A and B are shown apart, each in its own frame.
Chain A
Amino acid sequence: MESKLEKKEFNITVYTENQVGLLSRIAIIFSRRKLNIESLNTSPSEVESIHRFNIVINETEEVVRKVARQLEKQVEVLKVYYNTNEDVIWQELALYKVPTEIIAEHVSVERLLREYGARAVVIRKDYTVFETTGHREETDALVVVLQQYGLIEFVRSARVAIIKASDGFHTKLKQFENREPGESASENEYLNNGDKVFTM
Chain B
Amino acid sequence: MSSEEETAITVEQLKGSEILLNGLIAEGVETIFGYPGGAIMPIYDALYDYQDRLKHILVRHEQGATHAAQGYARTSGKVGVVFATSGPGATNLITGLADAQIDSTPMVCITGQVFAHLLGTDAFQETDVINITTPVTKWNYQVTDASEIAEVLAKAFHIAKTGRPGPVLIDITKNAQLQLTAYNGYQKCEHIRSYRPAPIIRNNYIEQAAALINEAKKPFVLFGQGVLLGNAEQEFKAFVEKTGIPAAWTILGAGAIPTDHPLNVGMLGMHGNYGPNVLTNECDVLIAIGMRFDDRVTGRLDKYAKQAKVIHLDIDPAEIDKNVKAHVPVWGDCKETLPLLTALVKEKKHEEWLEKFRTYTREEIEQCIDAEINPQSGELTMGEVINQLNQLTKGDAIIVTDVGQHQMVACRYAKFNHTRSNITSGGLGTMGFALPAAIGAKFGAPEKTVVAVIGDGGFQMTLQELGTIMQSGIDVKIMILNNQFLGMVRQWQELFHDRRYSFVDITSPDFVALAKSYYIDGQKISERAELKDALKTMLDHKGSYLLEVMVTKENNVFPMVPQGCSVSEIRLK
Contact = CB atoms under 8 A, between A and B. Distances in A.
Interface of A: 16-17, 20-21, 24-25, 28, 32, 65-66, 69-70, 72-73, 75-78, 176-177, 179, 181, 183, 185-188, 190-191, 194-200
Given A179-B191, A195-B325, A198-B212, A190 B317 contact: yes
Contact of A76 (B194, B309, B318): B194
A181 B327 contact: no
B149 interface: no
A25 B134 contact: yes
Contact of A194 (B140, B212, B325): B325
Given A181-B200, A187-B199, A194 B193 contact: no
Contacts of A20: 142
B376 interface: no
A135 to B, nearest CB: 32
B320 A32 contact: no
Nearest to A179: B191
A194 B321 contact: yes
A156 to B, nearest CB: 29
B196 interface: yes
B500 to A, nearest CB: 31
A191 B208 contact: no
Contacts of A194: 321, 325-327, 329
B134 A24 contact: yes
A36 to B, nearest CB: 18
A176 B194 contact: yes
Contacts of A16: 194
B208 A198 contact: yes
Given A24-B134, A69-B318, A75 B331 contact: no
A197 B318 contact: no
B337 to A, nearest CB: 13
B143 to A, nearest CB: 12
A64 to B, nearest CB: 13
A20 B326 CA distance: 36
B106 to A, nearest CB: 14
Given A76-B195, A187-B199, A200-B207, 4 more contacts: A28-B134, A28-B135, A78-B193, A197-B327
Contacts of B191: 179
Given A24-B131, A32-B135, A181 B196 contact: yes
Interface in B194-220: 194-196, 199-200, 205, 207-208, 211-212
B193 A187 contact: no
B497 interface: no
Main DSSP-derived SS at the A contact region: mixed
A183 B193 contact: no
Main DSSP-derived SS at the B contact region: mixed
Contact of B208 (A32, A72, A177, A197): A197
A78 B331 contact: no
15 contacts: A16-B194, A21-B140, A21-B141, A28-B134, A66-B322, A69-B317, A72-B318, A75-B159, A76-B195, A185-B196, A191-B317, A191-B321, A191-B329, A199-B208, A200-B207
B148 interface: no
A191 B320 contact: yes
A195 B309 CA distance: 12
Contacts of A197: 205, 208, 327-329
Contacts of B131: 21, 24
Contacts of B134: 21, 24-25, 28
A179 B208 CA distance: 29
Given A75-B138, A181-B200, A200-B208, A176 B325 contact: no
Contact of B200 (A25, A65, A183, A190): A183
B316 A73 contact: yes
A188 B331 contact: yes
B428 to A, nearest CB: 15
B130 interface: yes
A188 B199 contact: yes
B127 to A, nearest CB: 15
Nearest to B192: A75
Contacts of A177: 193
Given A73-B317, A76-B194, A198-B208, A186 B135 contact: no
B256 to A, nearest CB: 24
A199 B327 CA distance: 10
Contacts of B519: none
B501 interface: no
B194 A78 contact: yes
A73 B318 contact: yes
Nearest to A188: B317
A13 to B, nearest CB: 15
A171 to B, nearest CB: 15
A5 to B, nearest CB: 14
A185 B192 CA distance: 13
Contacts of B212: 198
Contacts of B328: 197-198
Contacts of A24: 131, 134
Contact of A191 (B159, B309, B322, B331): B331
B518 interface: no
Among A72, A195, A198, A200, max chain B CB count under 10 A is at: A198
